[in-house]
Amino acid sequence: MTLQVALVIPERELWAGRAELVIAKTLDGDIGVLTDHAPVLGILFEGSLVQIRPSDPSEPDVFAAVSGGFFSVADNQVSILARHAQLGMDVDTEATQSALDKALEAADPAHPPEESPDVRYYRALLRAAG
């Protein structure tokens, strides 16, 4: 048995298919989901990664950067409903690095330990791209 997974943003579905494992970061911490997981509803952490391991071992893991949204698990169905998200394979690393540099320059120096959601999202995009 496998999980049926859908990664969706308001504009469209980014990825859907069968998977053996899904890992995400919620406000309550990291969660790993295998088949027959108990029902869960969580809020995705701003600027984090979602990892999906397809059930076909010949397919590579899917990494996506997400910026807010919800994560739900019920009856072997995983729904990842993100405000913004991008698959790692679709990330333009040069443009993202440039956007990250600009966001860091604009950061409030009075709060250096606290990264803005934009900065976290750009960092997540670069991690998703590998």
CA distance 122 to 109: 19
**Residue 111: predicted pLDDT:** 63
For residue range 93-123, list pLDDT tens digits in order.
999 999 999 988 887 666 666 788 889 999 9
For residue range 38-58, list pLDDT tens digits in order.
999 999 999 999 999 999 999
Angle value at C-alpha 75, between 54 and 41, nearest 5 degrees: 90
pTM: 0.90
* Pairing mode, strands 77-87 and 3-9: parallel
Angle value at C-alpha 121, between 106 and 123, nearest 5 degrees: 85
**Residue 114: predicted pLDDT:** 75
Domains along the chain with CATH numbers: 1-130 (2.60.15.10)
CA distance 75 to 66: 23
